[in-house]
Structure 1
Amino acid sequence: MGNGKRTVVVTGFGPFGEHTVNASWVAVKELQKLGLGPDVELHVHEVPVEYQTVKSMVPLLWEQYRPQLVVHVGVSGVATTVTLEKCGHNHGYKRLDNSSFCPDSQCCVEGGPECIDSIIDMDAICKRVTNLGLGVSLSVSVSQDAGRYLCDYIYYTSLHLSQGRSAFLHVPPLGKPYSGEDLGRALRAILLEMLELLPQDQDTNHCEHAH
């Protein structure tokens, strides 16, 4: 439809706490091996679990690649499915990061709205991916609470910068129950559906309905 390739940036997080190997980065590296097909230029980056690094790194990714879509991936110790997060939150960042820092204001963007929703319809993505049947008993669910830690923080930062043109996925820890390969395949399926549903022309905001 559009001319030329579409650019997608995907991030995973580095180790933190008990997650000495972060399943999100393993999943993203598996996704990179699989690729998103010849029409999509995929760039992946590992992000340290640090508020200040996220704050400086995310705008650089948007500037450097001018992507159609940025997807951040994080691990959740309580997740048992691949979870599509609908929105990011501005306040409530009290947990210290890897460098024992948390924002004084406990918020992401001073004066920003409390919640920002992704323009991607996560319920629709969830249905479409579930209907694909990924060949692994992989289930996908939807959530409205990304957890008020670096996952929520990076998501809100990206949503704020991109007027909602971002997504966030939580994956379970490796082996609980999925392997890195399973997660990579799931990410690929989810991202391809997101690209299908994403309004093609990012310069016009007025015509984003399906025809």
Structure 2
Amino acid sequence: MSRDGPILLTGYGPFAHHKVNGSWVVVQELNSIGVKHKDETVPLVIKEIPVVYDAVHEQVPKLWSEHKPRLCIHTGVSHYTELKIEQYARNSVYFPPDVNGKCPEKYECEAGGPIRHETTINVQLICDGANKRQNDVTVLVSQDAGNYLCEFIYYKSLHVGTSPTLFVHFPTIGKPYTSTQMAIGLKHIVETILDNEMDKM
């Protein structure tokens, strides 16, 4: 992890019955709240990504190249009732079509890529640390990112990125948490990562 560079945070755009994607709402709220490490404000770059496989292929490498983030966290919504941090992402099978009705070629993220990529971050440690910082939301480890755009972007970033990367799944807003509660929960996740990962350098 570089000590320089911003934190890159992405949320997804609308899909299916999610006319407003809660992940993007939460990311925008966190951008307003801010993130600190050792009492210093850390710059954030936020980006809304369309729920489109081709958009992920095009935009993710550009975001890494342009911003050279010290940390990257992608987010999305799920059926979970807790915040879930994903342990790894698989290269296939991405069969469900995106909002344009398309699937990736051969239903995989990267031709010839590893079966899966696993984050270098100690996910259980981050969950434990984030849960100790606050009581409004529960943060748990997950080992199934869903074989859709959420897992797809996670694999893509782990494949092309050069700094620690995570994917965080949020419940639907209001089921049970408000967007503000989840933004604060995400803040604690990010700050726990910064405290643990930066201290290794």
> TM-score if structure 1 supplies the norm length?
0.89
Q: Is the 8 A contact 2:71 2:163 kept in 1?
A: no
Match of 2:74 among 58, 72, 81: 72
What CA deviation, in whole Å up to 9, does each residue of 1:129-186 have, x standing for no partner? Answer: 1122x242x1111111100000000000000112572110000000000111011101
Q: Is the 8 A contact 2:34 2:41 kept in 1?
A: no
**Distance of aligned partners of 1:112 and 1:82 in 2 relative to their CA distance in 1, 3 Å threshold:** same
Q: Is the 8 A contact 1:6 1:39 kept in 2?
A: no
Counterpart of 1:207 in structure 2 is: none
- Residue 6 of structure 2 aligns to a residue whose secondary structure is strand
What CA deviation, in whole Å up to 9, does each residue of 1:63-112 have, x standing for no partner? Answer: 11001111000000x21000000111101100000111101210000111
- Confirm or deny that 1:92 pairs with 2:93: yes
Q: Is the 8 A contact 2:11 2:48 kept in 1?
A: yes
Q: Matches of 1:90 and 1:44 in 2, distance apart?
A: 25
Q: Is the 8 A contact 2:23 2:76 kept in 1?
A: yes
Q: CA RMSD in A?
A: 1.6
Aligned length: 197
Counterpart of 2:122 in structure 1 is: 121
- Confirm or deny that 1:52 pairs with 2:54: yes
- Residue 10 of structure 1 aligns to a residue whose secondary structure is strand
Matches within 5 A, 1:140-155: 140-155=139-154
Counterpart of 1:158 in structure 2 is: 157
Q: Percent identity?
A: 37
Counterpart of 1:177 in structure 2 is: 176
- Residue 67 of structure 1 aligns to a residue whose secondary structure is coil
Q: Matches of 1:197 and 1:64 in 2, distance apart?
A: 25
Q: Matches of 2:51 and 2:43 in 1, distance apart?
A: 26
Q: Matches of 1:42 and 1:63 in 2, distance apart?
A: 15
Q: Is the 8 A contact 2:70 2:163 kept in 1?
A: no
Q: Matches of 1:118 and 1:135 in 2, distance apart?
A: 25
Counterpart of 2:42 in structure 1 is: 40
Q: Matches of 2:151 and 2:162 in 1, distance apart?
A: 16
Q: Is the 8 A contact 2:5 2:68 kept in 1?
A: no
Q: Matches of 2:152 and 2:140 in 1, distance apart?
A: 20
Q: Which runs of 5+ in 1 are unaligned?
A: 201-209
> TM-score if structure 2 supplies the norm length?
0.93
